[in-house]
Amino acid sequence: MRAFVVYFLMFLGISYSLFAQTKQEVSGYVTSFGTPVVHAKVAVVGTDLITATDSKGYYTIEVTPRQELQFSYVGLQTVTIIIEDVTRTLNVKMLPEVNDLDEVTVKEKIKKIEPFSDELGEDGKPKWIPTSMGPILTQNGATSYVRGEDLNLGAPNLALALDGHIITRKYISILAPQDILWDIDGVLFDSTSGKLPPLPPVSEVHDVMVLRSLTLTNRYGSRGRSGVIVVRTKGAYFFEKQQRSKRSYVNPEVYSEDAIAFKNVIVPKPNYLKDLENSNTLEEAFSIYEKSLINNARDVAFYADVAQYFYDKNAADKAHLVLSEMEAAFVTNAEALKVLAYTYEANADREKALSVYKKIFRLRPQYAQSYRDLGNSFAAAENYQKSWLMYMGYMNTADSLSGTGIDAIVYREMEALYFQHKDKIDADAKFSLPENKSELAYDVRLVFEWNTSEAEFELEFVNPQNQPFSVNHTLEQNLGRIRDEKLKGYTSEEFLIDDLGSGDWLVNLKYFGNKQFQPTFLKVTTYYNWQQSNQKQKVEVFKLTRQNIKMQLLKLNNRGLRI
């Protein structure tokens, strides 16, 4: 069987050996709680190659894929990251070292700070304002405050709506070229050389406060030297207010209903999408795409957004044109090609997805995910023998199977392939399976896949009894798992619900970023009636941009079990 698998891979035009690796430049910023870490050490593990961050926390270094970069600084936890073929940007957040103390003496009881207080000071401003650096007491320094209802809703953007209302530390217009820091719902954006960050629509702003004094801005470090503009959108404000109202009586082991439906999360809409939505015909929309392509040719999200727009308009032919140009633009970038494949799959273009997964395999023949994706894609295209061979290819390259992670996913899909289509495959290798197929059946099987290995997030499952269960996928909390993903080369996980019961299951997610300036694309495949005659599935793709907000991705119930 091993020899036959090797022959099959060669038939696909895929080398069974690893490609030669060349050095690549990796760069980024090292920060701690939003403040640059100056002179942090950045070293290639196992070599003499070392550099340090500059006054802005920036570094650049040459490294070979599969080597490890180690970030260290006195008093902060060391971070070690395995480099991959597509790694070009790594923005690393370092946390303080935690020291266990034998004895702690509390001298004074500190009043708990309520970050979204409705209590106003004598000047009419909220006494406390939430920021990415924690709640700030606004009475301790110079501030300017504007309620959203007092802004000019006719202004084309928030900066123009604010101009004349507020001033920064330099006492000049916020539209003038200067380094102003924007803190929008806890996410930081720099404004340099007069270029504004993505701002929420004026109509969605609850209030704005500008922090001008050093007393208030010092926690932002040098980034806040010209002042900080803190913006609260209505969605974030009312979400936190609802969360606060429940906090006093909710059992901590009971779900607090603190997730925002994904479609209701406020995300600044790119100009190209606004233009597309204002177009009158599909031809006009495609012309807008072609003009926008000039400035967005290297933006993965641009192609995915535009293609989905045309899919939603039942213009698959135009979506295909957009995606074919995306494929040409990112022909050697496996992470971008995954987004391409996800988009095809979400729109039932299975043959096109299969073609993309073949390209990814050629780029990454040593990755476990490549075997699984191509095997799964062959099965979706009803080529069950080739699907079986891809799964067996992974089984033969693995020294041992752990029963978790990608190993569990591959094995479970081989079980399904064997029981459902064993008359169409040549399964002459020994493959241990339960004799009773009913032992393999579940009401729901969920498979999560993400396009970049640097994505960090937390999943929360809430059962109909309102009991939550969380799975953390961050370097800080689950280093062993993420290291296993990097070493084997996979970015996926599965979850099984044997009995949905009555009521709703909720699937929530809190996203923490991916060390890059690009969003993460998350593909979720929901299989209902897994390993049963009426099995069906649904593929959904989520573009993750907003960080540190709990979002409700799915609501599952037994209605989904019906054909």
DSSP annotation string for 104-138: ----SPPPPP-TT---B-TTSSBSEE--TT--EEG
Co-location of 138 and 76 in the same domain? no
Look-up of token digits 């939550």: 468
- Give the span between the Cα atoms of 307 and 233, in whole angstroms: 29
SS3 for 414-433, per residue? HHHHHHHHHHHCCCCCCCCC
On the question of pLDDT at 18 being above 50, the answer is no
User: What is the per-residue pLDDT for 512?
Assistant: 96
Q: How confident is the model at residue 270 (pLDDT cuts 50, 70, 90)?
A: very high
Please report whether residue 105 resides in a domain: no
DSSP type of residue 21: P
Question: Number of C-alpha atoms within 13 angstroms, CB side, residue 529?
Answer: 12
On the question of pLDDT at 229 being above 60, the answer is yes
User: Which has more confidence, 153 or 429?
Assistant: 153
Co-location of 455 and 543 in the same domain? yes
- Give the span between the Cα atoms of 22 and 65, in whole angstroms: 8
Co-location of 237 and 153 in the same domain? yes
Please report whether residue 312 resides in a domain: no
Please report whether residue 102 resides in a domain: no
Q: How confident is the model at residue 176 (pLDDT cuts 50, 70, 90)?
A: very low
Co-location of 145 and 48 in the same domain? no
On the question of pLDDT at 165 being above 80, the answer is no
Instruction: For residue 515, give its domain range.
Output: 443-563
Which whole number is the average pLDDT over 364-368?
A: 95
Co-location of 156 and 231 in the same domain? yes
pLDDT in tens, 461-500: 999 989 898 999 999 999 999 999 999 999 999 999 988 8
Instruction: Work out the mean pLDDT of the chain and round it to a whole number.
Output: 84
pLDDT in tens, 235-247: 766 555 555 444 4
On the question of pLDDT at 6 being above 60, the answer is no
Please report whether residue 45 resides in a domain: yes
DSSP type of residue 177: S
On the question of pLDDT at 359 being above 90, the answer is yes
- Give the span between the Cα atoms of 201 and 154, in whole angstroms: 10
Choose the weakest-confidence range: 17-31, 227-241, 351-365: 227-241
User: What is the per-residue pLDDT for 142?
Assistant: 63
Q: How confident is the model at residue 122 (pLDDT cuts 50, 70, 90)?
A: low
Which whole number is the average pLDDT over 433-455?
A: 85
Q: How confident is the model at residue 38 (pLDDT cuts 50, 70, 90)?
A: very high
The contacts of residue 393 (CB under 8 Å, 6+ apart) are 5, 8, 9, 371, 375
User: What is the per-residue pLDDT for 222?
Assistant: 65
Look-up of token digits 């609501």: 555
User: Which has more confidence, 368 or 125?
Assistant: 368
User: Which has more confidence, 527 or 155?
Assistant: 527
Co-location of 458 and 523 in the same domain? yes
* CATH number for the domain harbouring residue 67: 2.60.40.1120
User: Which has more confidence, 149 or 348?
Assistant: 348
Co-location of 455 and 562 in the same domain? yes
Please report whether residue 455 resides in a domain: yes
- Give the span between the Cα atoms of 475 and 483, in whole angstroms: 9
On the question of pLDDT at 257 being above 50, the answer is yes
Q: How confident is the model at residue 103 (pLDDT cuts 50, 70, 90)?
A: very low
- Give the span between the Cα atoms of 225 and 484, in whole angstroms: 41
Which whole number is the average pLDDT over 258-264?
A: 95
* CATH number for the domain harbouring residue 146: 2.170.130
On the question of pLDDT at 286 being above 60, the answer is yes
Please report whether residue 340 resides in a domain: no
SS3 for 69-105, per residue? EEEEECCEEEEEEECCCCCCECCEECCECCCCCCCCC
User: What is the per-residue pLDDT for 158?
Assistant: 84
User: What is the per-residue pLDDT for 80?
Assistant: 96
Co-location of 54 and 133 in the same domain? no
- Give the span between the Cα atoms of 405 and 394, in whole angstroms: 13
User: What is the per-residue pLDDT for 13?
Assistant: 53
Choose the weakest-confidence range: 79-83, 196-200, 360-364, 528-532: 196-200
User: What is the per-residue pLDDT for 177?
Assistant: 37
SS3 for 273-301, per residue? HHHHHCCCCHHHHHHHHHHHHHHHCCCHH
On the question of pLDDT at 170 being above 80, the answer is no
Please report whether residue 47 resides in a domain: yes
On the question of pLDDT at 171 being above 60, the answer is no
> Among the three residues 247, 274, 307, which one is the final residue of a domain in this structure?
247
pLDDT in tens, 517-563: 999 999 999 999 999 889 999 999 999 999 999 999 999 998 888 76
Co-location of 546 and 478 in the same domain? yes
User: Which has more confidence, 22 or 41?
Assistant: 41
Co-location of 136 and 86 in the same domain? no
Co-location of 447 and 563 in the same domain? yes
Angle between helices 316-329 and 282-296 (to 10 degrees): 10
Choose the weakest-confidence range: 209-218, 279-288, 404-413, 481-490: 209-218
Which whole number is the average pLDDT over 316-324?
A: 98
Choose the weakest-confidence range: 60-74, 140-154, 383-397, 398-412: 140-154
- Give the span between the Cα atoms of 6 and 390, in whole angstroms: 10
H/E run at residue 7? helix 2-11
User: What is the per-residue pLDDT for 379?
Assistant: 96
Please report whether residue 553 resides in a domain: yes
H/E run at residue 458? strand 456-462
Which residue, 208, 193, 119, 111, is CA-closest to 158?
208
Q: What is the pairing mode between strands 24-32 and 50-52?
A: unpaired
Q: How many CB atoms lie within 10 A of CB 83?
A: 21
Co-location of 49 and 154 in the same domain? no
On the question of pLDDT at 212 being above 50, the answer is yes
Choose the weakest-confidence range: 189-198, 455-464, 472-481: 189-198
The structural domain count of the chain equals: 3
What pTM value is reported for the model? 0.71
The proportion of the chain whose per-residue pLDDT surpasses 90, expressed as a percent, equals 56
Look-up of token digits 């900066």: 159
